[in-house]
Amino acid sequence: MVATAASAPIAIVTGASAGIGLYTALGLARAGMRVVLTGRNRERTEAARRRVAAVASGPAPSVALADFASLADVRTLAAALLAEYPRIDVLVNNAGLIAPRRENSADGYELTIAVNHLAPFLLTLLLLDRLKQSAPSRVVTVASQAHKGALVDPAAMTNPPEWSPLSAYGRSKLCNILFTRALARRLGGSAVTATCLHPGAVATQIGNRAGILASLGWRLAKPFLTRPEQGAATSLFLATVPDPAPFAGAYVIGTAIAQTDPAARDDRLAGVLWTESTRLVGL
């Protein structure tokens, strides 16, 4: 039976115009979900929507635009989603970047931490009541093995004393994992499951902007990396697994819970990060 618009679960996928996000949206649409693709470029996101519509076994997908380098845009996106969708069953926090040079977001924060951590942090919290009302529901956040060896000082994360494309990216991915742990603790007993994952070393465009030497290495390695459709597999697994409860608060590789660096298991640090992130996004 094909799901109707009224009965189909609603899944929001950020950064869905290309790469892992696009293939996550394709997989969820094939599974019968009503998929909302978010992106910052209208033309690319609409092209992605058409690809998803061609394979959807349920309701037609839709588009919602936002630039995650602006917290005002994130707030506008959340308001639009809450106005349009009476329920939200799955939120996939997939959008992310590696900045080739140090620059700031529209809010004056270091760009990588703003886009990769503060934007999904704000979006998730703005949608959280709707996710709770829709429970059982889930929040899936794309982290990375790049967190290994990373350090974060929440008080200095928006203006770090040292910066490189890869150190900034690793710091943001550490924040994704700490956020997931803290969120899962706060969601205990709510039937909303928060998980995060490493998608693998995936041949997307993200590494093309990692600085001269790193991006050169990325381009040379891309033919040997995991394809984006394979990189979406863990996001799809966590978004659709019948019982997500065993993965609450966990970091997943493939279909199994994996070990993180000790810093990513520091619940005191996760609490400090949560408090500072709340302040920075104005909640």
Catalytic residues: 169
DSSP run (H or E) holding 35: strand 34-39
Residue 33 burial by Cβ neighbours in a 10 Å radius (0-12, 13-18, 19+):
buried
How far apart, in Å, are the Cα atoms of 73 and each of 11, 104, 196? Answer: 20, 15, 24
Alpha carbon distance 249, 8 (integer Å): 26
CB count, 10 Å around CB of 79?
Answer: 11
**Type of residue at 248:** A
Alpha helices in the chain (DSSP H): 19-30, 42-55, 71-84, 111-113, 119-133, 165-186, 212-221, 228-231, 233-240, 267-281
Tokens coding 170? 């690793």
